[in-house]
Amino acid sequence: MAFEHNSSKPILHEMTPATINSGSVPNPPPSTSFVPPSRTDWDLLFQPLFDKLLNPPPSVDHLAPKVIALIAKLVAPEPV
């Protein structure tokens, strides 16, 4: 009994799902378990950032009150 292929129907290997590998993505390395950073690791990483953000250096001169006073003086209404 010879198998004849009818060109209007796909043959079995055309219907079977397969993984296409173009070679552009390397095979993944053997799986290793992920160990999340400890609380100490996070603290060491971010503490300097928070220190700088929450406690600015004393050399910063806050000019806003002086500037606001000058603007208020310039735009004050003239007495009638």
Q: What is the pLDDT of residues 46-69, one digit of tens each?
A: 999 888 888 877 766 667 777 778
Write the DSSP symbol of residue 3: -
Cβ neighbours of residue 45 under 8 Å, at least 6 residues apart?
37
For residue 37, name the pLDDT band (cuts at 50, 70, 90).
very high
Nearest to 42 by CA among 34, 50, 53, 30: 50
What's the whole-number mean pLDDT along residues 22-47?
83
Helices (H), the chain: 12-15, 39-54, 64-75
pTM: 0.30
Please choose, from the candidates 28, 27, 46, 25, the residue with its C-alpha nearest in 3D space to the C-alpha of residue 37.
Answer: 46
Q: Give the residue-averaged pLDDT of 20-45.
A: 81
